[in-house]
A and B are shown apart, each in its own frame.
Chain A
Amino acid sequence: MPPTWYVEAVETLLWFEGTPPSIWMRESGPGFFGSLILHSLGMAFLVGAHVATDLRILGVAPGVPLSLLYRLRPMGWLGLGVVVPSGVLLLVAYPTKALTNPVFYVKLASVGSALLVGRALGVGLLGRAGAEAEPLPSRIKAKAGLSLLLWALAITSGRLLAYTYHVLLAADLYGP
């Protein structure tokens, strides 16, 4: 017998996937594809804001003042503000598909770590007060490089979600 918590989790997912919002998100073209489009656009703006900052720290576009890079933040916030709700809607559509796939947790961890690295860079470098002078210490450049790697991992793991899931809906856990 599977443990009680597992049975309860599966029953909760089974119930949730039968609720009108979840069914609508799966069956409505505008609902599902609208969320998918917004998730991609939000990704482009969220990752893009970090790419620009990281490239500048790594020496691209040296004419851009480091002390003013924080002014790109609204672009990142816009992206994050679109990515999170659209991602939640995609999760509403297929919660079992994501939650039973380890790659989904790799994606969440990558996004979370990338945001933390970006925040560390922002506090150390891009704050309104006391931007570091060039040449930048190598630990800051290393963080910018790490940030790019984490965003690439986040995007790749996100894309792989369409290929690596084991179970689509909770009902499939009960077997054929």
Chain B
Amino acid sequence: MTDVLFEFGLESGIHALMNSAWGWPAVESAHFIGLSVLIGTVGVFDLRMLGLARGIPMIALHGLIPWGVAGYVLNAATGVLFLVSAPDQYLFNPAFQLKLALMGVAGLNVLFFYRFVFAVVRDADPAADPPPSARIAAAVSLGCWVGVITCGRLITYFRPPYHWCPWC
């Protein structure tokens, strides 16, 4: 797995790009901008479903979501650039593994939201308490993204091989 990713990084030129003078810092900056856009769209929608900014129709704030998807795509793409440039630093890193797991939970929560919650949110009275199902989906989403950012920051703390974890 490590070798496959690293080969891809070398052959695609990503490894050279990332190790050029400003490659790594520039891509990191884009990754941080992307996460801010994600929290500024998906996070804002979640906070509204948790009761912040009552009066703004939830369905209206849902209009921010395409920009959230753009932030997500930017971060998935820049994340792949990190991963293939130093796969061993990520694959055997408990913070990275937990980060991916939380992204998986967030993804399942998106499916849950559009299958069971979206219709309730669409028809909700802007002044009323948010429906319980919306609160649950929002709490899971926001919790996952806060966890993802936390784990992302911890990747350098648990950098292998200095750190050992039971399952890595």
A-to-B contact residues, CB < 8 Å: 29, 33, 36-37, 40-41, 43-45, 47-52, 55-56, 60-65, 68-69, 71-72, 74-75, 151-152, 155-156, 158-160, 162-163
Contact = CB atoms under 8 A, between A and B. Distances in A.
A71 B54 contact: yes
B44 interface: yes
B56 interface: yes
Given A41-B146, A60-B67, A74-B52, A160 B29 contact: yes
B100 interface: no
A72 B150 contact: no
Contacts of A75: 44, 47, 52
23 contacts: A29-B157, A33-B153, A33-B154, A37-B153, A37-B154, A44-B36, A44-B43, A45-B39, A47-B36, A47-B39, A48-B37, A61-B64, A64-B63, A65-B60, A71-B55, A72-B52, A155-B29, A156-B32, A156-B33, A158-B32, A159-B29, A160-B25, A162-B25
Given A155-B29, A155-B33, A162-B25, A63 B43 contact: no
Contacts of B43: 44-45, 48
Provide the main secondary structure of the chain A interface: helix
Given A33-B157, A156-B33, A44 B39 contact: yes
Interface of B: 24-25, 28-29, 32-33, 35-41, 43-44, 47, 52-57, 59-64, 66-67, 146, 149-150, 152-154, 157
Contacts of B150: 37, 40-41
A62 B63 contact: yes
A48 B29 contact: no
A44 B149 contact: yes
Contacts of B32: 40, 43, 155-156, 158-159
A143 to B, nearest CB: 17
A109 B43 CA distance: 26
Contacts of A40: 32, 35, 149-150, 152-153
Contacts of B61: 61, 64
Nearest to B41: A52
A61 B62 CA distance: 7
A43 B149 CA distance: 11
A156 B27 CA distance: 10
Residue from the set B36, B38, B43, B146 with the largest chain A CB neighbour count within 10 Å: B36
A16 B101 CA distance: 41
B35 A44 contact: yes
B39 A63 contact: no
Contacts of B60: 61, 63-65
